[in-house]
């Protein structure tokens, strides 16, 4: 049996999702400005004309790749958030996409963009293993 969420609940989750979205956008912007847009010399702090040491270059490349991974994960999360916001507008928010049962508020408080109830999420994760 589906238990509808009140308008107050939907407003709460919409605000929570929008705040999370904003935090992620700020993080992506910071990473882009501070790491991804800088040259190798800027990253190393080297202002001389000497070539960079290979270990420094490798370390800087690792950090850049690591940050690219974070940005990629953040973009995926942004898509999840956008989908959740659309479900709020469609009045389908808070219902599991697999079994159509209500997702618990405690779960939504932790993962407000979730599409699945705990039981169905566990089934999905078990299949992946």
Buried b (16+ CB within 10 A) or exposed e, 64-103: beebeeebeeeeeebebbeebbebbeeeebbbbeeeebbb
As for how many domains the chain has, the answer is 1
Q: Is residue 113 part of a domain?
A: no
Q: Is residue 70 part of a domain?
A: yes
CA-atom Rg of the chain in angstroms: 21
pTM: 0.71
Q: What mean pLDDT, rounded, does the chain reach?
A: 81
- Tell me: the pLDDT tens digits for 2-58? 567 899 999 999 999 999 999 989 988 887 777 655 555 555 554 444 455 666 666
Distance separating alpha carbons of residues 12 and 84, to the nearest angstrom: 13
100: left (phi over 0), alpha (psi -120 to 50) or beta: left
Q: Is residue 16 part of a domain?
A: yes
Q: Is residue 98 part of a domain?
A: no
Domain around 68: 7-93
Q: Is residue 110 part of a domain?
A: no
Residue entry with tokens 């919409």: 14
Q: Is residue 25 part of a domain?
A: yes
Closest CA to 104 of 9, 7, 8: 9
């Amino acid at each position: 049996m589906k238990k509808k969420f009140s308008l107050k609940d939907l407003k709460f989750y919409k605000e929570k999702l929008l705040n999370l979205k904003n935090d992620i956008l700020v993080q992506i912007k910071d990473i882009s400005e501070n790491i991804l847009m800088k040259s190798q010399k800027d990253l190393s702090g080297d202002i001389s004309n000497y070539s960079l040491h290979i270990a420094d270059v490798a370390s800087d490349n690792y950090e850049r790749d690591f940050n690219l991974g974070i940005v990629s994960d953040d973009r995926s999360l942004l898509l999840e958030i956008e989908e959740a916001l659309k479900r709020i507008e469609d009045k389908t928010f808070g219902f599991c996409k697999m079994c159509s049962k209500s997702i618990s508020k405690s779960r939504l408080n932790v993962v407000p963009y979730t599409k699945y109830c705990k039981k169905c999420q566990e089934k999905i994760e078990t299949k992946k293993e």
